[in-house]
Amino acid sequence: PGTIYLKDYQAPNYLINRTELHFVLGEEETLVTSRLHLLRNTENGDSSELILDGQDLELVEIYLDGDVLDPSCYEVGEATLLLRDLPEQCLLSCVTRIRPQLNTSLEGLYRSQTMFCTQCEAEGFRKITYYLDRPDVMSVFTVTIDADADRYPVLLSNGNLEETSLLANGLTRVLWHDPFPKPSYLFALVAGDLEHIEDSFTTCSGREVALRIYVEEKDIDKCDHAMDSLKRSMRWDEEVFGREYDLDIFNVVAVDDFNMGAMENKSLNIFNTSCVLCDPNTTTDVGYQRVEAIVAHEYFHNWSGNRVTCRDWFQLSLKEGFTVFRDAEFSSDMGSRTVKRVEDVTLLRSAQFAEDAGPMAHPVRPESYIEINNFYTLTVYEKGAEVVRMIHTLLGPQAFRAGSDLYFARHDGQAVTCEDFVLAMEEASGADLGQFRNWYSQAGTPRLTVTDAWNKEAGSYALTISQSCPATPGQDDKKPFVIPVAMGLLGDAGNLRLQLQGEAPDPDTEDNTHMVLMVDKPEQTFVFEGLPEKPVPSLLRGFSAPVRLEFDYSRNDLCRLMSGDDDGFVRWDSAQSLGVSVITEVQAQLLAGDEAQVDPLFLEACGALLQDDALDPAMLAEMLSLPSENYLAELAGEGAADVQGIYRARTAVLAAVGSHCREALEQRYAQLAVEAKYAATGEQIAARSLRAVCLNYLAAAGASGLALANAQFAAADNITERLAALRVLSQFGSRSDWEAPMAKFYDDWGHETLAVNQWLAVQASMPDDGAIARVRHLMEHPDFDLRNPNKVRSLVGTFAGQNPLNFHREDGSGYRLLRQVVAELNSINPQIASRLLAPLTKWRYYQGRAEQMRSELELLASMDGLSADVFEVVSKSLK
């Protein structure tokens, strides 16, 4: 497979102004007739040759302007259709035969259970018909679908339904027309025997929009939360971004077999069932929040993605980074802003930082790829959103909104670049984002090293901040970034007034305790004056930039920030840092053969937190959660992560806190019991999350915690509490503790796919010696299916990603298991195979494991028939 470069971008030499498609859906095969209204793109030369994309297609007929095309005028290649001597304007028509029933890649048109559905982003449309399958070719689509009336009473595509008729042969025919030009990746089709719920939304200008969610009949009661979320998203986008919906209909369809979470096809969003269905017995609290966020994300794409789309796939973050920023703002407004921020930063630091330090590291706007599917990454999405957030911080909310308005107004109906976005932000605000653009072009996580100096006589305090960025593949030397460092200074009685040396006091704010320092040079010193005492610096408030920050805090300083800072994020982050430092210390003690001695300071800090009734329980739950094993491994650095040591130390700290704070934990646990019927309200969710944290500590500390977990499992009226109990029992108990409840869970909920998936995940993350045999055994379970991405992710993905102790077993059996599954999936579903592989690519991190991990990668590399997806990840990570 070859490499594609951003620098080679060329505009298409033909445009497709109108696209008419006719599908005849059958049980063996589907016939697709296309009518493409082509127009030469004279801006881009006058070549009469056109190369269309096409994959796994059988070309049955081909016509030009109504006449059969002479075979000398075209050539069918492996993944192309080459056309010669095309007139400047013409109608090209093709009939292709495809076999959706055999399509296990879940790209293009395929079967999921009893229905037909599509997934065309990024390059799936070429598996439907020959086309210019690239986002800068925008076309008005008209779609006719013929299908068996009994089997497929529901036939959907983008835009408006214009006609329905019954054909003589027992087929229904529908005609859909989408007035908005769109790229092929936003095309969608669904056919099935589906039920739907319906609601409506009145837009700010008074248009009535019909909202429908389509699901299999058995799931019809699980749609309400998604519908409410959709309406909230539509209102929020009007209020906060001034974006109104533009058609009279908006459809959502839930499908079981789906590679991604969901897809923003114009007016026909297709969702993975796991990201849209909600029921207290199948969906956890976190799941409810995820559904709200993803419904919003896909809806927001209607403007940031669909009305204004990407010129090429290197610009993916243009729509994804911006839309993740938008959905994060939405979630913050719907719930707790600080908790949402903590969740996002946790993901960024434990997974995106690792990606940015690994063999697949790439800039937010990559410069090359082999397989674009490999670039739907945490870097493009989450770091991309952080870059947009920094622009928001630099410009302020009003200028940012002006920039967003200008961007949408100027580029409506166009396919544009990240540069166009930045230009609109600059023009609307007057800001110079020249150097800021390095965030788009340079990979790697910048490191900020901060030192301080206190001058008692002068009452001045100096912070010296230096930045650097490690080399990443293809980028050895990095230019300095523009890094907004939001900060404050904490004194004995609270946050201190900030006065920078050489700057006039800010007349607007009497109580000036917060500021954003612009770090844009390799090293800078900021001096604060007029201070009554030596402060503790509160740095990177709200995680104002996606960087690693190093400052030599004492444990006392961290405790002070934890309890006394104005910024919720810094309070949480200080608790994390304290946790890291304590766990690392215990790890060294255990390694030396000593007993674990957990610093009493930490135990008391946890105790104090538990007594803090003023803190939001959701926030308290976050502050009391120890850093994850993965994050600790990431912090250990290359060649130094000792998973067993980390696990033992972390468990010892859990147990120590559990014993030390037993009374307070038991008290909180009891107090927070939710008596009311399950509801996914902020208050209930907060209570359950803090209870789960308490239960975890108590169970780590011994039998009484396990007894509580058992009682919780028996009494729960929802999956959140059931799973929390099962998790605790299976993490800290012995077989006799978890065996019966594990079996009971399946007996009770085995008929609910989404519940079974989580049951698989709990078992995949168990730390005991039987884990690998258990995962292999579960792969034989009648409910497991290698063709279903959700099942694979739940069982194998969780095992490799969330069970470090067993994945990294010394005998290499964890690696072997993953390699075998990837090898099998390579031909079934390359996209999922390549994603699953990620944990093996981190071979540089793990102490004493590099050879074993590499050798599994090498085995994959030597396989016949390796997909481009897996090839790219394997070959880059072996470099």
Known catalytic residues are 298
Answer whether 236's CB lies under 8 Å from 277's CB: no
121 binds, among ligand DPP, Zn ion, none (CB under 5 to 8 A by kind): ligand DPP
Least distance from Zn ion to the Cβ atom of residue 301, Å:
6
Least distance from ligand DPP to the Cβ atom of residue 816, Å:
32
Residue whose CB is less far from ligand DPP, 121 or 752: 121
**Cis omega (within 30 of 0) on the bond before 122?**
yes
718 binds, among Zn ion, ligand DPP, none (CB under 5 to 8 A by kind): none
Least distance from ligand DPP to the Cβ atom of residue 323, Å:
7
Least distance from ligand DPP to the Cβ atom of residue 464, Å:
40
Q: Please give the Cα distance from 346 to 348 (Å, whole number).
A: 5
Q: Token digits for 516? A: 């954003």
Residue whose CB is less far from ligand DPP, 119 or 630: 119
Distance of CA 287 to the CA centre of its chain: 14
Residue whose CB is less far from ligand DPP, 385 or 641: 385
225 binds, among ligand DPP, Zn ion, none (CB under 5 to 8 A by kind): none
Least distance from Zn ion to the Cβ atom of residue 383, Å:
14
Residue whose structure tokens are 């669904």: 190
Q: Token digits for 295? A: 């419904």
Q: Please give the Cα distance from 793 to 806 (Å, whole number).
A: 17
263 binds, among ligand DPP, Zn ion, none (CB under 5 to 8 A by kind): ligand DPP
371 binds, among ligand DPP, Zn ion, none (CB under 5 to 8 A by kind): none
Residue whose CB is less far from ligand DPP, 383 or 560: 383
CA distances from 187 to 130, 250, 273, 389, 415 (A): 14, 14, 20, 30, 16
262 binds, among Zn ion, ligand DPP, none (CB under 5 to 8 A by kind): ligand DPP
Question: Residue 356's closest CA among 454, 453, 296, 442?
Answer: 442
Residue whose structure tokens are 């896909």: 298
DSSP 375: G
Beta-sheet strands, E only, within 183-240: 189-192, 195-202, 208-215
Closest residue to bound ligand DPP by CB:
263
Residue whose CB is less far from ligand DPP, 134 or 819: 134
386 binds, among Zn ion, ligand DPP, none (CB under 5 to 8 A by kind): none
Q: Please give the Cα distance from 524 to 450 (Å, whole number).
A: 10
Answer whether 314's CB lies under 8 Å from 366's CB: yes
Residue whose CB is less far from ligand DPP, 263 or 853: 263
Residue whose CB is less far from Zn ion, 315 or 323: 323
Residue whose CB is less far from Zn ion, 301 or 688: 301
Answer whether 448's CB lies under 8 Å from 550's CB: yes
- Count CB-CB contacts under 10 A for residue 254: 26
Answer whether 528's CB lies under 8 Å from 461's CB: yes
149 binds, among ligand DPP, Zn ion, none (CB under 5 to 8 A by kind): none
559 binds, among Zn ion, ligand DPP, none (CB under 5 to 8 A by kind): none
The letter for the amino acid at 175 is L
Answer whether 178's CB lies under 8 Å from 193's CB: no
CA distances from 442 to 6, 364, 417, 477, 549 (A): 14, 8, 17, 9, 18
Question: Residue 196's closest CA among 136, 246, 154, 162?
Answer: 154
Least distance from Zn ion to the Cβ atom of residue 323, Å:
5
Residue whose CB is less far from Zn ion, 305 or 446: 305
Residue whose CB is less far from Zn ion, 380 or 870: 380
DSSP 380: I
Least distance from Zn ion to the Cβ atom of residue 376, Å:
9
Distance of CA 484 to the CA centre of its chain: 24
Q: Token digits for 348? A: 């960024």
Summarize as ranges the residues that interact with Zn ion (CB under 5 A): 320, 323
Number of H helices, E strands in the chain: 30, 32
Q: What are phi and psi of 13, to 5 degrees?
A: -90, -5
243 binds, among Zn ion, ligand DPP, none (CB under 5 to 8 A by kind): none
- With 0-12 / 13-18 / 19 or more C-beta atoms within 10 angstroms meaning exposed / middle / buried, residue 204 is middle
The letter for the amino acid at 484 is P
Least distance from ligand DPP to the Cβ atom of residue 382, Å:
11
Q: Please give the Cα distance from 753 to 273 (Å, whole number).
A: 10
Least distance from ligand DPP to the Cβ atom of residue 540, Å:
27
Residue whose structure tokens are 């008209």: 142
Summarize as ranges the residues that interact with ligand DPP (CB under 6 A): 121, 260, 262-264, 297-298, 301, 320
In three state form, how does the secondary structure of 718-739 look? CHHHHHHHHHHHHHHCCHHHHH
Least distance from Zn ion to the Cβ atom of residue 747, Å:
38
622 binds, among Zn ion, ligand DPP, none (CB under 5 to 8 A by kind): none
DSSP 159: S
CA distances from 599 to 570, 620, 656 (A): 21, 20, 10
Residue whose CB is less far from ligand DPP, 327 or 426: 327
Q: Token digits for 826? A: 């390579």
- Count CB-CB contacts under 10 A for residue 332: 15
Least distance from ligand DPP to the Cβ atom of residue 122, Å:
8
